[in-house]
Amino acid sequence: MNRLIVALDVDTGTRALALAESLRGIAGGLKVGSRLFTLEGPSLVRQLADDGHKVFLDLKFHDIPNTVAQAVASAVRTGAWMINVHASGGSAMMQAAAEAGRRAALDTGVPAPLLIAVTVLTSMDEDALRSVGVGRALPDQVVTLARMAQAAGLDGVVASPLETSILRSACGPAFGIVTPGIRGASAGTTMDDQARTLGPADAVRAGASYIVVGRPIIGAPDPRAAAEAIARELGTP
């Protein structure tokens, strides 16, 4: 399994498509987030998928269950390989997302996407969590939300690698864990806005199913070479 997902956090679809082509065969997936999606829309996701790329559509849906179900169904029709919602939207919302995703895949004759839930953003620490009224310790909140996501029928979660080992114990070896914002010396950047993260190999050793790397690759003078270096570190052929 190629665990490396590259975040296409760029300003234009033209740049995104050029990066995608340069990373072909190295990246296991490409992430399209709110910035690029807002600029270019679903047509870019469709084009990437049609070109044979696995697209992680990172829009973090969080709304009433029916609205999220409709959004997920629409996301499936773009050809997205992985789609996420916010676990804090609750069990009913996540169940609606899971059902809508699988139903839309059947209706359109495409493979069901991986449906995952964001637990606690990696930019947040204990103080930030308390500031929004959550009294649990941060690891306990992550595990609570992950168990809810698993019970709702989702395929995995987005979480910091610092919580991966406890998530594996709580949710088992088959549950997907996607760790975003990978930083540190081994990835070539400082921690910047990430409060809870590790380097690429450390994240995988901690149990990550996939790691998401953005600036260390797309901001490098040679993005393909930067991605190849991380892939070698991960033991990816």
**pLDDT surpassing 60 at residue 227:** yes
Is residue 183 very low, low, confident or very high in pLDDT (cuts 50, 70, 90)? low
Per-chain mean pLDDT for the chain:
92
Q: With 50 as the cut, is the pLDDT of residue 182 above it?
A: yes
- Say what the pLDDT of residue 237 is: 57
Summarize pLDDT for 102-124 with one digit per residue, the tens.
999 999 999 999 999 999 998 89
Rounded Cα distance between 188 and 185, Å, is 5
CA–CA dist 194, 123 (Å, integer): 5
The enclosing H or E element of 99 equals helix 91-108
Q: Is the pLDDT of residue 194 over 60?
A: no
**Residue range 167-171: mean pLDDT, rounded:** 95
Question: For position 223, what pLDDT does the model report?
Answer: 97
Query: How does residue 185 score in pLDDT terms, banded at 50, 70 and 90?
Result: very low
Query: What's the CA gap between 32 and 63, in Å, rounded?
Result: 20
Say whether 225 sits in a helix, a strand or coil.
helix
DSSP class of 132: T
Ordered by where they begin, the domains of the chain are: 4-234 (3.20.20.70)
pLDDT of residue 199: 83
Q: What is the DSSP string of 1-52?
A: ---EEEE---S-HHHHHHHHHHTTTT-SEEEEEHHHHHHH-HHHHHHHHHTT
How do residues 73-90 score in pLDDT, each as one tens digit? 999 999 999 999 999 999
Q: What is the mean pLDDT of residues 14-18?
A: 98
Catalytic residue IDs: 60
Residue 202 pLDDT grade (very low, low, confident, very high; cuts 50, 70, 90)? confident
Those residues with Cβ within 8 angstroms of residue 233's Cβ, 6 or more apart along the chain or in another chain: 186, 200, 201
Does the structure show a pLDDT above 90 at 205?
A: no
Mean pLDDT calculated for residue range 148-155 = 98
pLDDT, tens digit, 9 for 90 and up, residues 24-75: 999 999 999 999 999 999 999 999 999 999 999 999 999 999 999 999 999 9
pLDDT exceeds cutoff 50 at 208 = yes
pTM metric for this prediction = 0.92
